[in-house]
Amino acid sequence: MFKPKFVSIESVEKQTSRKLRNLAVDKKRAAIQIGVIDDQNLPARDNLLNYGYKVIEVGDINRISDIQDYQIVLCDVMGVGMAFDPNGQGAELIKQIRKQYPNIYILAYTGNLMSNPQAVIAKERADSFIDKDADLEKWSEILDEYIDNVLDPVENWKRTRKNLIEIDTPTLEIIELESAYAKDISANDKSFTNLKKRIGSGGTSGVIKSIIGGLITQALLGMAGV
């Protein structure tokens, strides 16, 4: 019988989305750490904590690595990123986080005019955007969507694939990585044997290894069944 050489991510999509649907919302919310970059208190913080989100205020940051442990970052547009670019502020910070931690989901928020140049750039760079005065329904709608994304191994791979394409990774290498990842997800292999074997087989650059390392960390959250 014909056995395809490569397995595509679509082959595990049904299995993973069913698993994700069955997870309780409160467990999902409690599993994901959300870092808030803001020079002031986030007015929504206490209510979001009451809703079960793991929201942690980190203030303005001086090093991008300060947010490496968060899967989702809420980033204000104004008054932050002063250590990097006082003009670009939040928009510059988002650019730097995206560059160093491409797996982290960044949700920008602001009270500024929508036409404000910094807000426009931040919107383009972030994964999503929230008005500072949005109601809790809106906050939780967006946060739940991105928590699902963090916990969804297929979504994670698609995002990783986009990052790999952006750094000009050869197509064959992407297909091989996808295949190895899909096999591991399908087998619920928390050691990621196939994927680790593929990146350890030589010829894989340090940048790609780092991106795949981030992918494994996030995929493990979803596989843990929170």
Partner 1 sequence: MYSIPVIKVAPDGSASFLQGALHPLPPELTGPQRINTYLQSSNAGWSKTVFGYESFSTYNDRGVKYIFPAIYLCDGHKPSKKFMGYKAQFKRSQIEYYAAGIVRRETEFRVGMQKELNSFVHDLRRLSSTIYHQAVAAQKVIPNRYPQAQSLIQSVIASQRMLKLRTDVLDRSGSPIAGEENQHIFVYKKIDKVAKCFKPMAAERGINVNISGSSHSMTYGPDVLEIVFYVIIDNAVKYSPTNGDINIKIDETDDNILVHIESIGPTVEASEVEKIFQKGYRGVSATSSNINGSGLGLSLASDLIDKFEGKIKFSKIHDEPSLINVMHSKHYFTIEVPIRQSMPRRQY
**DSSP H/E element including 11:** none
Question: Min. distance of Cβ 119 from partner 1 in angstroms?
Answer: 8
Q: x/- binding map, residues 195-214, to partner 1, per CB under 8 A?
A: --------------------
Residue 10 tokens read as 């679509």
Which one of 114, 167, 187, 224 is in contact with partner 1 (CB under 8 A)? 114
Q: What angle, rounded to 10 degrees, do the helices at 153-166 and 13-22 form?
A: 130
Residue 212 tokens read as 């795949």
Residue 29 tokens read as 């919310």
**DSSP H/E element including 193:** helix 193-199
Question: Min. distance of Cβ 43 from partner 1 in angstroms?
Answer: 4
Residues 142 to 161 in contact with partner 1, rule: CB under 8 A:
149, 155, 158-159, 161
Residues 50 to 109 in contact with partner 1, rule: CB under 8 A:
50, 78
Question: Min. distance of Cβ 74 from partner 1 in angstroms?
Answer: 13
Question: Min. distance of Cβ 133 from partner 1 in angstroms?
Answer: 4
Where on the phi/psi map is residue 110: left (φ > 0), alpha (ψ -120 to 50), or beta?
A: beta
Q: Compute the distance between CA of residue 163 and CA of residue 27 in angstroms, rounded to an integer.
A: 29
- Number of shown-chain residues binding partner 1 (CB under 8 A): 32
Q: Cβ closer to partner 1: 17 or 100? A: 17
Contacts of 65 (CB under 8 A, 6+ apart): 100
Q: Residues, the chain, total?
A: 226
- 111 is a contact residue toward partner 1 (CB under 8 A): yes
Q: Which residues bind partner 1 (CB under 8 A)?
A: 40, 43-44, 46-47, 50, 78, 110-116, 119-120, 123-124, 128-129, 131-136, 149, 155, 158-159, 161-162
